[in-house]
Structure formats: C-alpha cells, structure tokens
Amino acid sequence: MFFARLTQRYLLPAIALTSCLVATIPAITLAQGTPGITIFSGVDSKNRLDYRLDYGTRNMWDRYVLRISGKKLQQAVYQFTISYPDYYKGKFDSNEVKVISKGEEVAIEKVDWNKEDHLLQITLKEPLEPNKKAEIVLDNVKNPDIGTYYFNCRVLSSTGVANAYYVGTWEISIN
C-alpha cells in the first residue's frame, strides 16, 4: 500500500517529466546556433569566421548572422563582398540585409545580389571604423539543400586602395 502510493505520487510524475525532456532534445538540436567544432576542413582555422543561423534547415526561410572580428578589419571598411559557391541554390532578399557594428545598425547605400557571379555586395554610406567587429545580417534567406557551403568575405577599405582584401570564410552547414 505504501509503495503503491509512493509510486503514484513521485515515480510516475518523474517518469512523465523525464520522457518530455528526452522528447524535446532532438527538436532543440535541429536549430544550429553556432558553427560548432570543425576538425577537418579546407579552411585554415585563422581564416574561419563565426556565424549563426536561426534554423539551419534545408529548404526553409532563415536568418544568417555572419560575424567578422575586429581583428580582421584593420582598416576602415565601406564595402563587403560575399562570394558563395555555384552549387548554393539558396535565395537572398537584398531588401533585408543589415550591417551591425558596436550594437547599432549601420546605414547601407546599396545591396547588389549578382546571381550569375555568385556575389552579394554590400556598400555602406559611411565607412566602418577600423578594428570594430561587424555583423552582417541576412534575413529572409531561402536555405538550399543539405550541405556545407563556403562563403568568402572580402572588404574594400576607404583608404583609396582599389583592391578588396580577404578577411575570412564562413563554413555554413545546412541540415
């Protein structure tokens, strides 16, 4: 009698709670918060850039937050050029692109999405200060099929040098 009451009072609710927690773990792991640990890659670790996807699931609408460390931006920057592979079949919304630095949105002059050359070019109204981290937020992105996609970032400085310099690569994984 005592054991039956104890089981009813404590053991059954504990089992129910545990099963609910175990059932939610796969749903939590579907969202790709960060790039995670990369053991083997074609990109040197010093050139790897950090990013975050809201979902990271194939054929879904998503938000990409592409981060660039202030150490990589040694000069004032007025243009970001993101190149992506020809096998990336996702879609970008050039009206939903933001650049954030020091926690504030930076004014953008124009965003050009060149589908043929696989480039996304973001030109700022005012150059970013040197050595300040930046986040490029791409909203309303239609994810492609499952795979790993290498997005390369080059920046054009406002120092009068006409050549863009490479700052790194985002290794974006879609599940």
**Among positive and negative, which fits the CA dihedral 61, 138, 133, 166?**
positive
What is the domain class of 45-174 according to CATH? mainly beta
42 pLDDT higher than 80 = no
**When comparing pLDDT for 30 and 142, which is higher?**
142
**When comparing pLDDT for 30 and 126, which is higher?**
126
**Mean pLDDT in the chain?**
84
pLDDT of amino acid 28: 44
Dist CA 88 CA 145 (whole Å): 8
22 pLDDT higher than 50 = no
- What's the average model confidence in pLDDT over 33-53? 74
- What's the average model confidence in pLDDT over 4-23? 55
Q: Residue 158: which pLDDT band, with cuts at 50, 70 and 90? A: confident
Q: Taking every pair of C-alpha atoms in the chain, what is the biggest distance, in angstroms? A: 86
Q: Residue 37: which pLDDT band, with cuts at 50, 70 and 90? A: low
Token pair 């927690």 in the structure block, residue: 21
Q: Which of 89, 99, 154, 94 lies closest to 127 in space, CA to CA?
A: 99
* 32: three-class secondary structure by DSSP: coil
Dist CA 158 CA 156 (whole Å): 7
pLDDT digits (tens, 9 = 90+) for 88-101: 999 999 999 999 99
pLDDT digits (tens, 9 = 90+) for 106-120: 999 999 999 999 999
pLDDT of amino acid 135: 98
Q: Please answer whether residues 63 and 54 qualify as being in contact, where contact means their C-beta atoms are separated by less than 8 angstroms.
A: yes
12 pLDDT higher than 80 = no
pLDDT of amino acid 139: 97
